[in-house]
Amino acid sequence: MIHPITRSRTPPRRAAPGTSLARAAEARAAAVVAQARIDTPLGPMTAAATPQGLAGLWFDDQRHHPGPLRAPVDEGNPFIQQARRELSVYFARQAGGARRPAFAGFTVPLDPQGTPFQKRVWQRLLHIRDGQCSHYGELARKLGSPEAARAVGAAVGRNPISIIVPCHRVLGRDGSLTGYAGGLARKSALLRLEGARMVADETGRAAA
């Protein structure tokens, strides 16, 4: 079911004019040509698409939500439709209390708008497989910048395509949840759905 577009209750944080983050936000707004609402078991989301692919997928109350988009509502956009179908299959794995066959993965084309460094980090997130987890230091090392764990963490937090670009699979080095733009309760729920080998509860502590 698709809901009318509404403004997030939590005002989005705006980047300072002239900064690289502000320029990336402006580029994203200019590139988006369609938006629609998607219902999920963890709350409604806003999906956005460019002519090349899915550009955004945000929970209403998550940090760094872009706020109202200028793009028209288009429930028939092919990238948004594909994302909706694949999210339905993703969440159906535990429908009825029984785990269904392994999820084959998301295949919707992606076109997130960000700085070159952010895009490198988001691309690396796609290598974290369903049911696995990583941590910021490991991501920095695999990006060839082991000293950049803090910058990597900031880029992970700015991921505009929740769930599909799996920033929820990044934990603290000690296995704690550390943070998630969509909220720790959602992060824990996603990890449990995926059967991650190391999951954590809403308090941020790891659980077997």
Q: How confident is the model at residue 153 (pLDDT cuts 50, 70, 90)?
A: very high
Q: pTM here?
A: 0.80
The answer, yes or no, to whether residue 14 has pLDDT greater than 80, is no
The residues annotated with a catalytic role in the active site are 167
Distance of alpha carbon 186 from alpha carbon 97, whole angstroms: 18
The answer, yes or no, to whether residue 63 has pLDDT greater than 50, is yes
Q: What is the DSSP string of 84-113?
A: HHHHHHHHGGGGGGS--SPP----S-B---
The domains of the chain, with CATH numbers, are 116-207 (1.10.10.10)
> Distances in Å between the alpha carbon of 23 and those of 19, 26, 27, 86, 112?
6, 5, 6, 31, 14
The larger pLDDT score, comparing residue 24 to residue 90, is at 90
The answer, yes or no, to whether residue 142 has pLDDT greater than 60, is yes
List, for residues 97-134, the tens digit of each pLDDT value: 555 556 789 999 999 999 999 999 999 999 999 989 99
